[in-house]
C-alpha cells in the first residue's frame, strides 16, 4: 500500500484500538484518562474512537498514567508494569516542550535528508502549512502521522521518545526498575543489601577501566597470591 493517507488512517484505527485496550486492562475510566491529559471526556473519547489521534507526548503521559511501556504503542512486546510513580507537576508545560523538541527533530532530519518542506509534505500526504506547524512545535503531531513522517525520514520512534525531560525521567526510571526486576532473585537480593554496596562500587570502577589497566591489576593480584 503506497497511499500515505491510507497508511495513516490504518495506523489511526490501530492506535485507537490500543488505547481502548490499554485503558480497559488498567481499569481506568474515560474521565480519569481525560484528566491525565487535561482534556474533556468528550475529547478523550475522540482519541479512542479514532476520529482524532494523540501526539507522542500524550502517549508518553498515558503510558505513565497506565504504568505500561511506551513501546507497546508501536508494536514492541510489552512487559508487566513496574508500579513506579507517574506524577508530572506541569502536564501542559511538559507537553508543549515535547512538541517543540519533536518538531525540531523532524526539521533537522528533513534538512539532513535534503528535502524541502513541500517535498516532505507531498511524500507523506500532508499539506505544507500543517507540516510547518508540526516542525515549529506549534501543533502536536498526531501519532499515526508521526509514524509516517518517521518512516519517510528514516527515524525510529526511540529517537523521538523523551530522554531528558520530566516524562523521559519517568520512562527511564521504569526501564531501570524493569531491568532490575528481570535479574535473578539472588542477584537482586545481593544488590539490595546495603552491606554489598562497596562491592558494587568497585565493580563500577573496574568496568570503567581500560583493558590494559585491568590486566595490570590482575597481574598484581597474581603476584600477591602466588
Residues in the chain: 226
Q: What is the pLDDT of residue 3?
A: 86
- Domain spans in the chain, listed from the N-terminal domain onward: 4-55, 194-225
**What is the tens place of the pLDDT at every residue in 168-202?**
666 677 777 778 788 888 888 888 888 888 888 88
Burial call 46-67: b when 16+ CB within 10 Å, e when fewer: bbbebeebbbbbbbbbbbbbbb
For residue 69, report the phi and psi dihedrals to the nearest 5 degrees: -70, 135
Helix (H, G, I), strand (E, B) or coil at 55: strand
Instruction: Check residue 35 and give its pLDDT.
Output: 93
pTM surpassing 0.75? no
**pLDDT (tens digit, 9 = 90+) per residue, 83-104?**
444 455 566 787 888 899 999 9
- The owner of cell 480497559 is 24
The three cell numbers locating residue 170: 519517568
Per-residue pLDDT of the chain (226 residues; tens, 9 = 90+): 568 889 999 999 999 999 999 999 999 999 999 999 999 999 999 999 999 999 999 999 999 899 888 888 986 544 444 444 445 556 678 788 889 999 999 999 999 999 999 999 999 999 999 999 999 999 999 999 999 999 999 999 988 987 776 666 666 777 777 787 888 888 888 888 888 888 888 888 888 777 777 777 777 666 665 5
Q: Give backbone dihedrals phi and psi of 155, rounded to 5 degrees, phi first.
A: -100, 150
Return d(Cα 12, Cα 90) in angstroms, integer. Answer: 27
Amino acid at each position: 500500500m503506497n497511499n500515505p493517507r491510507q497508511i495513516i488512517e490504518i495506523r489511526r484505527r490501530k492506535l485507537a484500538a490500543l488505547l481502548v485496550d490499554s485503558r480497559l486492562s488498567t481499569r481506568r475510566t474515560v474521565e480519569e484518562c481525560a484528566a491525565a491529559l487535561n482534556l474533556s471526556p468528550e475529547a478523550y473519547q475522540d482519541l479512542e474512537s479514532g476520529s482524532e489521534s494523540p501526539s507522542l507526548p500524550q502517549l508518553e503521559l498515558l503510558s505513565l498514567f497506565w504504568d505500561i511501556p511506551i513501546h507497546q504503542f508501536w508494536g514492541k512486546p510489552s512487559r508487566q508494569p513496574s508500579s513506579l510513580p507517574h506524577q508530572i507537576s506541569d502536564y501542559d508545560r511538559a507537553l508543549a516542550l515535547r512538541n517543540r523538541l519533536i518538531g525540531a527533530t523532524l526539521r533537522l532530519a528533513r534538512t539532513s535528508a535534503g528535502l524541502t518542506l513541500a517535498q516532505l509534505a507531498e511524500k507523506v500526504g500532508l499539506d505544507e502549512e500543517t507540516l510547518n506547524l508540526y516542525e515549529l512545535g506549534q501543533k502536536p503531531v498526531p501519532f499515526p502521522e508521526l509514524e509516517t513522517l518517521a518512516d519517510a525520514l528514516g527515524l525510529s520512534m526511540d529517537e523521538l521518545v523523551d530522554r531528558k525531560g520530566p516524562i523521559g525521567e519517568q520512562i527511564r526510571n521504569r526501564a531501570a526498575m524493569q531491568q532490575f526486576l528481570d535479574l535473578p532473585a539472588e542477584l537482586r537480593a545481593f544488590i539490595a543489601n546495603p552491606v554489598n554496596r562497596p562491592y558494587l562500587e568497585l565493580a563500577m570502577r573496574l568496568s570503567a577501566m581500560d583493558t590494559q589497566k585491568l590486566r595490570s591489576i590482575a597481574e598484581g593480584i597474581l603476584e600477591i597470591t602466588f
